């Protein structure tokens, strides 16, 4: 952490105005070579705008940018690249049907003497870069055969290979499992030692405290402050981000002892999960903890009817039910809020009205004709209730922030009057303020006697919210279920890694 | 544009102009108006009752195909088989009439059989997981082949009473135009007021999200190709009345005209975007280029070039304005 070098980028008094909105006002930010600098703030605080201004996507309204002490103009992303600035965005962009090496040399493939592609040299140089960062990937492999984590690391390696001097990582761990996160941190450490400056954007506090040297906090387009990581703690940081003391976000009221609503008996699906048993009561949150890819999403998808099962029973209110597809699941009062809300939870190009009613049209129509008045009324009701921030319910959901999108998904199921809400990673990519609102909402659902099943790989979240946690390890094997008083982060991790049973 | 409409006091009480301005079809209607006025000024014959009637009549058939195509395109699909399906329904009805069947039952059977062709294609696309482009490209060739086999590649004459419909007028407007109008109204109602219509947009926006919201994808995909084939079949019958015979080559390349009308009307081939009203305007604009061009004595090859350019420009402007709006 002491390997910080000279100041690499300095952004001074940056202002950025969009028509009608001041996105950034007098923001100051700098990062040194060999430094990992966290950029934190709620969604809408201006993080993305600041980064896009640096990367030449947006043009600042006023202010100065210095790279290695020299004043620069960055009119477009190519100029940013030429200055050695590189960004790895949340939605990873890479040519999936090409090999790793081709991706490294995309747009400037090496040629041999007679003008043909020089594969040997490309493979060789790519492999050298991968090896240097200790990434266990073959340069000849096609990218789509790699895991999401490997793909991300390949992209980082590519930027490193292209001699980027500043690397911006935007929520780099959103798709990674715990051990993969550690891999990533090792890579970051190596890059740091090589003198790369890194801007690290994340909503996950524990990561920030693990890898970052300094932290700059943005709020409403202003710089709140820049701190040394060693001089602050999680609570302090969160209260500075939201400008108020949030207290213990994860403590919600619990409503134990309700009657059993859902029982899952010996549910099996070859190759995805095996022998899943689960009991869910009214007013209860049942957590499912497991690493990414362990089969946890597959379990809840099967309960909802999104995927088929081989054997086992699903019992609702003491009666066995047949659930073969999502329509069956929905008619039995089950709802699924998928992990990937953008591609599975929402019709992004459609309006809020349309999305909130999406699962309920059969309830507000006769002979296939929709009662348009009721449709609007319901959308308005749930949009208000959930405090979706939007100028109008006619707004397309693609224009909403992550937190508001998640609220619309919740609204869809409230509108359907579901009884069992299955949340798959409900707060990934959602800022602190919206997170606590979503927890409050869960609490309200519970108080009304609804049940929640929640998958989360974030330990403070699942340990804080769940009444019980079922732990899954690779291949969808159930390692056991812990009651609230038995919760222990180390034990949960050991179980999820298959090292221990309950 | 979005931030402008966000100012405090016009959230609910947008002025009528602003509301019109925010309609996706606004630019389109504007273009249409400009065209109409320009053509009328240059050559007043253009807005003569005779020419308008002529224009609408010649457009009705493609106009009907384009309505069905619009729904298919909104789901993110495409239906290249409509030209062949048009020929199929017309030919089937013609052969049945030729064999002595009454005009009405023959027409009904022709339309029903044509619609079933769409159902089959929908099933293949959904259950066979064959891309719509491929399935309907194959369908286009297969159905055309079937039509050729049925007719031995010959025209099949129909009773002259059938041909009467094509020249029939009500209140001075060709009967064919009324058929088009009915299909347009049906299309608008489906899109706005039915579950099916809403589902079409949701599927085009994101099929998996739609499925996980309890929408039966297979059923809706079948419906949408069935509706497209139904439109094609109705168009086929109109074609039959216009030509006075079942014609094996009827409707050749009409699928492209239908796609063009929908795209000029604002439909996006990546799905979820498009409207029946937009498609109607798109259809009329394209028709006006060829009709107006002919009146002005412009070489018809040049008109082809103009229509082609219009398609590309329409999409270009659409993409540009969306980027600007963000």
Task: Quick: pLDDT tens for B100-135.
Answer: 999 999 999 999 999 999 999 999 998 888 999 999
CATH at residue A347: 3.40.50.300
Q: What mean pLDDT, rounded, does chain A reach?
A: 88
**Residues in CB range of B221: below 8 A, 6 or more apart:** B75, B77, B122, B125, B126, B203
Predicted local confidence at residue B8, as pLDDT: 40
Does the model's ipTM exceed the 0.85 cut?
no
**Do A280 and A218 share a structural domain?**
no
Residue at A360 is within a domain: yes
* pLDDT > 60? residue B46: yes
**Do A300 and A237 share a structural domain?**
no
User: Contact A347/B193, CB-based, under 8 Å?
Assistant: no
Confidence of residue B235 (pLDDT cuts 50, 70, 90): very high
Confidence of residue B154 (pLDDT cuts 50, 70, 90): very high
* More confident of the two residues B18 and A348: A348
Tell me if the pTM is above 0.80.
Answer: no
Interface contact A411, partner B, CB < 8 A: no
The span from the first CA to the last CA of chain B, in angstroms, equals 8
C-alpha A199/C-alpha A186 separation (Å) is: 16
User: Contact B209/A345, CB-based, under 8 Å?
Assistant: yes
Interface contact B161, partner A, CB < 8 A: no
Predicted local confidence at residue B293, as pLDDT: 87
Interface contact A449, partner B, CB < 8 A: no
User: Contact B3/A21, CB-based, under 8 Å?
Assistant: yes
Nearest Cα to Cα of residue B255 among B236, B268, B242, B274: B236
Residue at A115 is within a domain: yes
**Do A209 and A107 share a structural domain?**
yes
Predicted local confidence at residue A44, as pLDDT: 66
Mean pLDDT value across residues A93-114: 84
Chain centroid to CA A290: how far? 16
Predicted local confidence at residue A435, as pLDDT: 82
For residue B295, the number of C-alpha atoms closer than 13 Å in the C-beta half-sphere is 21
* pLDDT > 50? residue A378: yes
Residue at A428 is within a domain: yes
Which residue is listed with tokens 């619309």? A408
* pLDDT > 50? residue B12: no
* pLDDT > 90? residue A48: no
Provide the domain limits for residue A267.
260-496
Most confident listed range (A56-60, A287-291, B252-256): B252-256
Residue at A380 is within a domain: yes
Ordered structural domains, chain B, with CATH: 59-286+301-325 (1.10.3470)
* pLDDT > 50? residue A125: yes
* pLDDT > 80? residue B33: yes
Instruction: Fill in the DSSP letter of residue A140.
Output: T
Interface contact B22, partner A, CB < 8 A: no
Instruction: Give me the residue from A336, A361, A369 closest to B212, CB to CB.
Output: A336
Residue A40 three-state SS: strand
* pLDDT > 80? residue B22: no
Poorest-pLDDT segment among A85-94, A279-288, B69-78, B185-194: A85-94
Residue at A251 is within a domain: no
**Do A315 and A192 share a structural domain?**
no
Dig out the tokens for B115 from the structure.
Answer: 């619609």
**Do A148 and A28 share a structural domain?**
yes
Chain B residue with Cα closest to A355:
B202
Dig out the tokens for A180 from the structure.
Answer: 């993969």
Residue at A254 is within a domain: no
Chain A residue with Cα closest to B198:
A354
Residue at A1 is within a domain: no
Instruction: Fill in the DSSP letter of residue A180.
Output: H
Among B8, B11, B214, the strongest candidate for a mutation testing the A interface, having the largest count of A CBs within 10 A, is: B214
**Do A265 and A235 share a structural domain?**
no
**Do A294 and A187 share a structural domain?**
no
Among A347, A351, A409, A412, the strongest candidate for a mutation testing the B interface, having the largest count of B CBs within 10 A, is: A347
Confidence of residue A92 (pLDDT cuts 50, 70, 90): low
Number of domains composing chain A: 2
User: Contact A365/B195, CB-based, under 8 Å?
Assistant: yes
Mean pLDDT value across residues B179-191: 96
Confidence of residue A248 (pLDDT cuts 50, 70, 90): low
E-only strand ranges, A245-310: 260-269, 273-281, 285-289
Predicted local confidence at residue A403, as pLDDT: 83
Q: Which residues of A touch B271 (CB under 8 A)?
A: 349
Cα angle: A173, vertex A175, A177; to 5 degrees:
75
Q: Which of A212, A242, A272 is the last residue before a domain boundary?
A: A242
β-pairing, A468-473 with A285-289? parallel
Nearest-neighbour CA in chain A from B259: distance (Å): 21
**Do A233 and A285 share a structural domain?**
no
Residue at A351 is within a domain: yes
Most confident listed range (A41-45, A135-139, B4-8, B91-95): B91-95
Predicted local confidence at residue A96, as pLDDT: 81
* More confident of the two residues A292 and B227: B227
**pLDDT cut 90: percent of chain A above it:** 50
Chain B residue with Cα closest to A356:
B213
Q: Which residues of B touch A362 (CB under 8 A)?
A: 195
Chain centroid to CA A68: how far? 33
pLDDT tens profile A147-188: 888 888 898 898 888 888 999 998 888 777 778 888 899 999
Residue A4 three-state SS: coil
User: Contact A330/B214, CB-based, under 8 Å?
Assistant: yes
Q: Which of A207, A242, A277 is the last residue before a domain boundary?
A: A242
**Do A409 and A482 share a structural domain?**
yes
Confidence of residue B91 (pLDDT cuts 50, 70, 90): very high
**Do A302 and A204 share a structural domain?**
no
Predicted local confidence at residue A151, as pLDDT: 87
Mean pLDDT value across residues B54-58: 88
**Do A220 and A294 share a structural domain?**
no
**Do A298 and A173 share a structural domain?**
no
* pLDDT > 90? residue B57: no
Q: Which of A215, A242, A269 is the last residue before a domain boundary?
A: A242
Predicted local confidence at residue B72, as pLDDT: 97
Instruction: Give me the residue from A18, A336, A354 closest to B198, CB to CB.
Output: A354
């Amino acid at each position: 952490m002491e390997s910080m070098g000279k100041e690499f980028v300095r952004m001074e008094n940056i202002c950025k105005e969009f028509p009608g909105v001041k996105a950034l006002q007098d923001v100051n930010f700098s990062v040194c070579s060999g430094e990992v600098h966290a950029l934190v703030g709620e969604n809408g605080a201006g993080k993305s705008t600041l980064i896009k201004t640096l990367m030449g996507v947006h043009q600042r309204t006023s202010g100065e940018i210095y790279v290695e002490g020299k004043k620069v103009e960055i009119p477009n992303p190519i100029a940013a690249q030429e200055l050695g600035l590189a960004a790895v965005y949340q939605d990873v962009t890479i040519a999936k049907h090409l090999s790793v090496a081709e991706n490294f040399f995309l747009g400037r493939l090496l040629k041999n003497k007679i003008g043909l592609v020089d594969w040997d040299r490309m493979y060789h140089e790519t492999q050298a870069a991968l090896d240097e960062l200790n990434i266990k990937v073959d340069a000849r492999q096609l990218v789509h055969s790699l895991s999401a984590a490997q793909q991300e690391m390949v992209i980082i390696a590519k930027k490193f290979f292209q001699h980027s001097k500043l690397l911006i990582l935007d929520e780099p761990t959103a798709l990674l499992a715990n051990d993969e996160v550690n891999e990533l941190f090792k890579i970051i450490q190596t890059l740091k030692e090589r003198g790369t400056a890194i801007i690290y954007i994340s909503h996950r506090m524990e990561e920030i405290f693990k890898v970052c040297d300094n932290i700059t906090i943005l709020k409403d387009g202003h710089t709140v402050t820049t701190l040394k990581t060693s001089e602050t703690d999680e609570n302090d940081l969160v209260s500075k981000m939201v400008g108020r003391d949030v207290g213990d976000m994860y403590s919600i009221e619990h409503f134990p002892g309700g009657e059993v609503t859902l029982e899952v008996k010996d549910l099996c699906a070859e190759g995805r999960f095996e022998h899943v048993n689960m009991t869910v009561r009214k007013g209860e949150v049942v957590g499912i903890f497991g690493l990414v890819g362990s089969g946890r999403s597959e379990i809840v998808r099967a309960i909802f009817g999104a995927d088929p099962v081989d054997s086992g029973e699903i019992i609702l209110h003491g009666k066995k039910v047949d659930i073969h597809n999502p329509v069956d699941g929905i008619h039995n009062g089950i709802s699924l809020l998928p992990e990937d809300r953008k591609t599975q939870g929402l019709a992004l190009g459609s309006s809020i009205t349309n999305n909130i009613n999406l699962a309920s049209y059969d309830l507000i129509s006769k002979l296939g004709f929709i009662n348009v008045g009721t449709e609007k009324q319901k959308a308005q009701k749930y949009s208000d209730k959930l405090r979706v921030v939007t100028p109008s319910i006619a707004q397309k959901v693609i224009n909403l922030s992550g937190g508001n999108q998640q609220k619309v998904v919740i609204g869809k199921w409230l509108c359907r009057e579901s009884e069992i809400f299955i949340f798959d990673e409900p707060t990934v990519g959602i800022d602190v303020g919206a997170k606590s609102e979503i927890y409050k909402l869960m609490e309200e659902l519970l108080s009304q006697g609804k049940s929640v099943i929640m998958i989360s790989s974030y330990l403070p979240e699942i340990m804080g919210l769940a009444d019980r946690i079922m732990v899954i390890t690779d291949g969808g094997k159930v390692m056991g279920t812990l009651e609230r008083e038995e919760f222990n982060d180390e034990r949960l991790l050991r179980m999820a890694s298959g090292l221990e049973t309950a | 544009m979005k931030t402008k409409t966000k100012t405090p006091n016009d959230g609910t009480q947008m002025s009528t102009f602003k509301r019109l301005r925010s309609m996706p079809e606004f630019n389109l209607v504007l273009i249409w108006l400009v065209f109409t006025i320009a053509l009328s000024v240059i050559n007043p014959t253009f807005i003569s009752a005779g020419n308008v009637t002529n224009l609408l009549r010649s457009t009705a058939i493609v106009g009907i195909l384009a309505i069905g195509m619009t729904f298919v395109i909104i789901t993110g699909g495409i239906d290249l088989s409509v030209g062949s399906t048009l020929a199929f329904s017309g030919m089937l009805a013609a052969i049945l009439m030729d064999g002595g069947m009454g005009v009405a039952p023959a027409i009904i059977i022709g339309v029903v059989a044509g619609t079933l062709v769409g159902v089959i294609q929908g099933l293949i696309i959904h259950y066979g997981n064959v891309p719509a482009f491929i399935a309907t490209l194959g369908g286009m060739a297969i159905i055309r082949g079937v039509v050729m086999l049925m007719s031995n590649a010959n025209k099949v004459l129909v009773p002259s009473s059938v041909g009467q419909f094509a020249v029939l007028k009500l209140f001075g407007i060709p009967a064919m135009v009324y058929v088009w109008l009915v299909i347009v109204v049906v299309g608008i109602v489906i899109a706005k007021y039915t579950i099916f219509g809403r589902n079409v947009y949701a599927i085009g926006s994101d099929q998996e999200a739609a499925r996980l919201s309890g929408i039966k994808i297979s059923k809706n995909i079948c419906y949408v190709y069935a509706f497209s084939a139904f439109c094609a079949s109705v168009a086929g019958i109109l074609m039959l009345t216009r030509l006075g015979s079942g014609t094996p080559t009827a409707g050749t390349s009409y699928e492209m005209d239908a796609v063009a009308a929908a795209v000029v009307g604002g439909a996006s081939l990546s799905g979820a975007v498009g409207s029946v009203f937009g498609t109607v305007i798109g259809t009329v604009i394209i028709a006006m280029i060829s009709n107006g061009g002919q009146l002005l004595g412009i070489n018809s090859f040049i008109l082809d070039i103009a229509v082609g350019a219009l398609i590309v420009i329409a999409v270009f402007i659409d993409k540009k304005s969306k980027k600007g709006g963000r």
